[in-house]
Amino acid sequence: MRRVLFGLVMVVFCGAGFGQSTGWPVGPGHTVLTLWPNGAPGPNTTKGPEADTSTATSDKIAGRPLVRLGNVSVPTLTVFAPKGKNTGAAVVVFPGGGYNILAIDLEGTEVCDWLTARGITCVILKYRVPGTGPYPKSDEALQDAQRAVGMVRAHAAEWKIDPKRVGVLGFSAGGHLAAAVSTHYETRLYPKVDAADDLSCRPDFAVVVYPGYLAQTDKGFVFTADIPVTKETPPTFLVQAEDDPVHVENATAYFLALKAAGVPAELHLYAKGGHGYGLRRTQLPVTGWPNRVDEWLATIGVVGAP
């Protein structure tokens, strides 16, 4: 991996401002930062070039296809600036995909369309896959998440965000990753790269959507000890459907652990919805969860009233 000035690779596509996202790869006008300027630490688990692994027979969500990005070996941050008034808040988004692929439009660019419309800077973390989690089975995805949060804070002045209002939002495996970085932030899992690693990688808040890997299915769905919740764990919003095949106990177990530690948390459970719906609206009430997040962010003081 080539070396660049300031320890960062920064690609700014031409075009004034930040455009509406249309999928992946993103259109012109977005800032993209390479996470590891000298190459990512740890093993390379890819088996081919980075590409969309969806096929003509792949499942659709709400009648629409999605990008299942595989073989990611070069993690990046892609920045979506807020539309209209900038609230100063920022969210780092972790798409899901079982730590094997990234549903990077369904649980990435489409999330940024929602957040930026509310004046929130949205930053998609394209983290390494496949086989890079859940921590501590491997370190790579959590290394990427820790580095990402620190890098966002390092660019706070440039991106006009408040470094004390930087949150994370994750889906499925990305929901587990949001919980992992919310509880593993005191020590970096990699050698220092640059000044961004001197800044805290603790999120100020977390949104965890239909998470996995938090309840141990072989032990009666008890909460995993690999997510060491303390009173310093950030305020957290959780949502999951009771009929989720990944098991609703992932959300309920995490909520109870947060409650026991005295962490402000809000849990929304729905009767139906399954798994992997992202922000695509259907007739099912669970797909209205972004409205509940809008209310919660105002409740905890991250943004003004919706």
pLDDT tens-digit map of 284-305: 999 999 999 999 999 999 998 7
Q: What CA–CA distance (Å, rounded) separates 125 from 134?
A: 16
pLDDT tens per residue across span 90-113: 999 999 999 999 999 999 999 999
pLDDT band at 27 (very low <50, low <70, confident <90, very high): confident
Nearby residues of 56 by Cβ (< 8 Å), 6 or more positions away: none
Q: Considering only CA atoms, which of 264, 216, 214, 262 is closest in space to residue 237?
A: 264
Angle at 190 between CA 184 and CA 196, to 5 degrees: 85
The pLDDT value recorded for residue 160 is 98
pLDDT band at 23 (very low <50, low <70, confident <90, very high): confident
pLDDT band at 14 (very low <50, low <70, confident <90, very high): very low
Q: What CA–CA distance (Å, rounded) separates 235 from 230?
A: 11
Nearby residues of 159 by Cβ (< 8 Å), 6 or more positions away: 79, 81, 90, 121, 152
Domain locations along the chain: 5-299
Q: What CA–CA distance (Å, rounded) separates 102 from 106?
A: 9
Helix (H), strand (E) counts: the chain: 6, 14
Are 170 and 177 spatial neighbours (Cβ–Cβ below 8 Å)? yes
pLDDT tens per residue across span 155-204: 999 999 999 999 999 999 999 999 999 999 999 999 999 999 999 999 99
Q: How many CB atoms lie within 10 A of CB 49?
A: 8
Q: What CA–CA distance (Å, rounded) separates 47 from 10?
A: 26
Task: Name the class of domain 5-299.
Answer: alpha beta
pTM of the model: 0.92
DSSP character at residue 109: I
Q: How far is CA 230 from CA 169, 239, 257, 259, in A?
A: 19, 21, 9, 10
pLDDT band at 7 (very low <50, low <70, confident <90, very high): very low
pLDDT tens per residue across span 219-267: 999 999 999 999 999 999 999 999 999 999 999 999 999 999 999 999 9
% of the chain beyond a pLDDT of 70: 92
The pLDDT value recorded for residue 227 is 98
